[in-house]
Amino acid sequence: MSAKDDDWRLRGQEKYLHGASWTWKTYRRYRDNWEHDHCSFCWAKLTEPGTDGEAHEGYSTKNDYYWVCATCFDDFKERFAWTKTI
């Protein structure tokens, strides 16, 4: 399903995520003092395996700073011209 212009998950992400390249991977903390991250769209909580969270895998940018859940990736991939990497 492609997202509509009035989708509640859109909050200006095109400024920093348009044309991004994503890799599906197991969540790992960005830094040692990082506990979790959120999907950049729906705000689902991503945590390391074995900890509380809504997801332990997702799509990540090359630097592991931005994360997107599988549902939001499918909903926004065309609108944001995303590509997948291995």
- Taking only the tens of pLDDT, the chain with its 86 residues reads 567 889 999 999 999 999 999 999 999 888 888 889 999 999 999 999 988 878 999 999 998 899 999 999 999 999 999 999 97
d(CA 4, CA 67) in angstroms, rounded, equals 21
CA atoms within 13 A on the CB side of 73: 18
In the chain, domain spans:
34-86
CB atoms within 10 A of CB 3: 18
Amino acid in the structure at residue 17: L
4 and 76 Cβ atoms separated by less than 8 Å: no
d(CA 56, CA 83) in angstroms, rounded, equals 21
Element (H, E) at 21: strand 21-26
pTM, two decimals, is 0.89
